[in-house]
Chain A
Amino acid sequence: MSEIKIKIDGREVTAKKGEYVLEVARREGFEIPTLCHNEQVSQEGRCRLCVVEVRWKEGGHSRVVTSCLYPVDEGLIVETGSEKVMLVRRMVLELLLARNPEAEKVKELAQEYGITQSRFGADTEFGKCILCGLCVRACREVVGVEALGFYMRGVLKKVGPAFAEPSSVCIGCGACAFVCPTGHIILEEKGAVRKIWGRSFEMEKCAKCGRYFAPKYQLEWISSKTGVPYQQLAICTDCK
């Protein structure tokens, strides 16, 4: 990929064609907050926190864009903390703080941006879910299962298994809970049983150390996908 030069907050940096502003900026040490970004999955631009201001000419017409989706190109000029950028980020955080007052991650970020209290009334019905969709993408793109999705629309939008019922395709891997930035998704484990999204999974013991380490259903699923015999999979990562 060909090398190009772009300017971030006045400093010239090198990037490759095909890269996005966010990855280049982070590599170069610029701080841009995100809530719905994860390098392991595709980007969707839901949270709008990673906005930056871009222009093609000094003093020229500018646009506020999401850096996770904006491709770099020769001569691009990026501002990561302009007045417009800060207006959007602060408002997004203030809106999320009202929606998810219990979400520590949101509180922390809001505080960093000087917001301790939201001017909007606190919600109680959304839990810690900010609808970033990372769980949906992890399930679909990394696990390859598609047990999760969005349902309803607009302000009523929710995330979960189809029809908000325990999913028959979920393998109980817990990737969704792992990527969730706010800890909204709860994975409960008690001995031989793991509970997630309203479904219980029977756990397998590690053949070597004997601790419960993965749902049997998940191991069966992996075995069927990869052809690796189940017994070979029934050993935990520490003992492998």
Chain B
Amino acid sequence: MKRLSSLAELEKLRKKIVSKQKREKITIVTSVGTCGLARGAGEVADAIVKELKRNNLQNEVSLRTTGCHGFCEIEPIVVIYPEGILYQKVQAEDVKEIIFETVLKKKILEKFLYTDPLTGEKIAYEKEIPFYKKQYRLLLNNNHLIDPYKIEDYIALGGYSALGKALFKMKPEEIIDWVKRSGLRGRGGGGFPTGRKWESTRRAEGSLKYIICNGDEGDPGAFMDRSIMEGEPHSVLEGMIIGAYAISFGRAQAQGYIYVRHEYPLAVKNLTQAITQAKEYGFLGENILGSGFSFDIKINRGGGAFVCGESSALMRSLEGKAGEPRAKYVHATDKGLWDQPTNLNNVETWACVPEIINRGPEWFASIGTEGSKGTKVFSLVGKVNNTGLVEVPMGTKLREIVFDIGGGIRGGKKFKAIQTGGPSGGVIPEQLIDLPVDFDALTEVGSMMGSGGLIVMDENDCMVDVAQYFVKFLEEESCGKCVPCREGLRRMREIFERITSAKGTEQDLVLLEELGEAMKLGSLCGLGQTAPNPVLSTLKYFREEYEAHIREKKCPAGVCIELISYSIDPKKCTGCMLCAKNCPTGAAQGEKKKPHKIDKKLCIKCGICYDVCKFDAVKRG
């Protein structure tokens, strides 16, 4: 493959790829991101290849394996274009029928269609599905159109045109000005204005500048960065190359790093392939597109420490040292990796850059709210019907995300709270469901944007238990460098263990609050400073639940195992023996057709009797 050495050559190549693509009439798309693969998408893709060959359809129908489309709930999916017919939860054995009926005879197969959980209606076309229809996709828009292993797919959609524009039609300062005017703020959690960071790094003294992409996405239940790295890796590379040019050209050399967690093997694979292809075409390496600008990117894999997602710890880790954060009073833009000026942005932030360069800062700034511009990708998980990736303009109300896009709460249960921003975000109660989601509004209510995790909770979730879970998670992930975080989290966990085992006192709540405040003020890095958020926010909005655990020794949601007990209502029990048959310890006992009993000495409180009883006779209290 010949390296492109001018903008004209890039445009010529693009035209060639597009004209070739037009000849292919029918395209079957299946998403083989990590989530899809886990549910059998790989086998589905293999079956499609085999079936097309068997029917001698290779020339008329093409298969495109893409990254994640974001609707995890219905994976594996198969979409048939040009119509855009979407089939959900497809398995390899279904492929034969789909090719025969839908691809060949254009007949839509009802049984594979998605059913809207709110209306019960079956929906045939991808674009009609409310989960997709109500999103505003800038970053995820191309995921279904791109085979991440084919740089040509990306180029066909205008890929690397922003880089061409930046290198040949814009000055570095002008690019920085555009990014500043776009209002883009860091998507990794901090929300720092990206353009200002770039400007500081450009101005910093130093002959070598490091450009880092933080792909160490570690929040439980967050996977937006993974999906971008897996599905459209070139958008991240293009953003980084533009950033490197804006930050270093004419002032210093630049070197790029992508730090990806080791648990994301597919992201590493796809990025590695993308870097190789970008080098072959001349988008990376020496004299990029003949512009005189040189830049290269290396991939580094993280060893699995959550704290290495914190920028200064990430840089220590890149240097080969233990991932301990440092104070940031001297910014990384002046002294970062190996003490050189360093610009670190998150995956999603980098992926926004080509769009801003292509469509202009005013366009980007027209999306979102006063202080938060553009769109944000959230990973919506928990007790919601439609789990998956949701991209919406900043300022979209939580209600719209949970109910309109998320399809409401699973099993018709009642919405209780939503946790935003990962393990150190806050828990937002139902009364604030109309909150617009942006950086500032979330901080105001004691939570944060974080990297964009949204965990939906229903009436069966205990808020004390939820806070305890996050405290335990963070205790395990604290690096242990500073006292408030290391010792504070351990002590918080001890207090939670007391409260959830009927040993808590009112004083424990006072201590939790005092400790939480001290950790927020006194911890060294973002991990410790935000770690008390789940505790303080649940104490603020759900204090009565804590009090019930302490005063009445009861867990109202029926979660905390030491505070609940099971009994059988003799009036409702029909003696069907289902509980006795399923009880793993023999605690549920009784004779046929006579009311049963639970032997509390044998009961391990697993709740199986409660779940299997068809007569609502088992009581939890």
Binding site for B on A (CB under 8 A): 44-48, 51, 64-66, 69-71, 84, 87-88, 90-92, 95-96, 98-99, 119-121, 130-131, 150, 152-157
Contact = CB atoms under 8 A, between A and B. Distances in A.
A119 B305 contact: no
Instruction: Identify which of B322, B481, B515, B524 gathers the most chain A CB atoms within 10 Å of its CB.
Output: B481
Given A91-B488, A92-B522, A69 B329 contact: yes
Given A91-B488, A95-B491, A155 B522 contact: no
Contacts of A69: 327, 329
B518 A88 contact: yes
Contacts of A155: 475, 478, 480, 486-487, 489-490
A156 B523 CA distance: 18
Question: Which residue, of A87, A95, A121, has the highest number of chain B Cβ atoms within 10 A?
Answer: A95
Interface in B418-446: none
B514 A91 contact: yes
A109 to B, nearest CB: 12
Interface residues of B, number: 34
Contact of A154 (B478, B515, B521): B478
Contacts of A51: 521-522
Given A153-B480, A157-B480, A71 B489 contact: no
B482 A95 contact: no
Chain A contact residues, majority secondary structure: mixed
A131 B522 contact: no
Contacts of B523: 48
A44 B524 CA distance: 10
Given A69-B329, A92-B522, A121-B494, A47 B483 contact: yes
A155 B491 CA distance: 10
14 contacts: A48-B483, A48-B523, A69-B327, A90-B518, A91-B518, A95-B487, A120-B491, A121-B494, A130-B483, A153-B305, A153-B479, A153-B480, A154-B486, A155-B489
A88 B480 contact: no
A156 B486 CA distance: 9
A88 B521 contact: yes
Contacts, number: 100
Contacts of A45: 326-327, 482, 524
Given A48-B484, A91-B515, A155-B487, 15 more contacts: A46-B482, A64-B522, A70-B329, A87-B518, A88-B484, A88-B521, A90-B518, A91-B519, A95-B483, A96-B487, A131-B486, A155-B475, A155-B480, A156-B480, A157-B481
Given A66-B327, A96-B487, A48 B522 contact: yes
A31 B277 CA distance: 60
B484 A46 contact: no
Interface string B474-515: 011111111110111111001000000000000100010011
Given A153-B305, A155-B480, A87 B491 contact: no
A91 B515 CA distance: 7
A90 B517 CA distance: 12
